[in-house]
Amino acid sequence: MIDFKGYEWVFWEGLQVTLAVGLSCIPVVVVMGLLGAWAKLSGNRVARSIGYTYTTIVRGVPELVLIIEIYYGLTEALQLLLSAASGGEILIDIDPFTAGTITLGLIYGAFATEVFRGAYLAVDRGQIEAARAFGMHEKLAFVRVVFPQMMRFAIPGLGNVWMVLIKATALMSVIQLPELMRMADVAARAVRMPFTFYFGAIVIYLAITVVSLYGLRHGEIWSNRGIRRA
């Protein structure tokens, strides 16, 4: 058995934070993705250009740069906003967990935007026409017909986003979030066994990947129930 010199707990603590950050990102990613897809598909020119600017920037800039800039930028922007609103100087400190969740959510929301956009376009136009022919107005047709089918097309892509996202949580170590990578780092420095601890972290990331793949496969089967296959 590998000797972790009594630092086994860093893996458990780190794993919890990694999973917590990853899972809390999901709602942000989905909301940003739906908003982004709506903006990119919208007839409104302003909304469309905002949507395109959003995905263009996220696609063109490395995650590391985005994470650092959004993390510090967010704190300062909020500080300025609150100071201006109250008239006095307000010092705020967003904890790395919240900031990290928002940052990763914003980044991967852009990826989800493409997934939702593709999924929307993949829904058979005849289905929408049929819904309208039943007298449903646009919103009802979206809620009852388009959205459920769109989600079926979106699931493999969203699963892909999750796999990339959970690996990207490792970058949160640069803003001192005590997730798996950061905790492994702390322990590695404390007992001077970097290989042992980074290797342990890698094994855990691999385990997360394996479990996620298994879950995704079942999610896909579930979402395709009742669909005829060739």
81 contributes a contact to another protein by CB under 8 A:
no
Query: Taking contact as CB under 8 A, which single stretch among the options 5-13, 134-142, 191-199, 219-227 is the one that binds another protein?
Result: 191-199
Pair of tokens at residue 100: 């990290």
Pick left, alpha or beta for residue 163 (phi over 0 → left; psi -120 to 50 → alpha; otherwise beta): alpha
Residue 58: enclosing H or E segment and its boundaries? helix 45-60
Interacting residues with another protein between 28 and 57 (CB under 8 A): 55-57
Task: Identify the sign of the CA torsion 168, 171, 177, 183.
Answer: positive
Interacting residues with another protein between 155 and 174 (CB under 8 A): 157, 160-161, 164, 167-168, 170-171, 173-174
Answer yes or no: are the C-beta atoms of 18 and 179 closer than 8 Å.
Answer: yes
Q: Report in angstroms how near the CB of residue 133 gets to another protein at its nearest.
A: 28
Nearer to another protein, 92 or 121 (CB): 121
Nearer to another protein, 143 or 202 (CB): 202
177 contributes a contact to another protein by CB under 8 A:
no
* Neighbour-count burial for 135-156, b at 16+ CB within 10 Å, e otherwise: ebeeeebbeebbeebbebbbbb
DSSP calls for 135-192: T--HHHHIIIIIHHHHHHHHHHHHHHHHHHHHHHGGGGGGGT--SHHHHHHHHHHHHT
211 contributes a contact to another protein by CB under 8 A:
no
59 contributes a contact to another protein by CB under 8 A:
yes
Pair of tokens at residue 124: 């058979």
Nearer to another protein, 35 or 110 (CB): 110
Residues that bind another protein (CB under 8 A): 55-57, 59-66, 68-69, 72-73, 76, 111, 114-115, 118, 157, 160-161, 164, 167-168, 170-171, 173-174, 181, 185, 188, 192-196, 198-199, 201-202, 205-206, 209-210
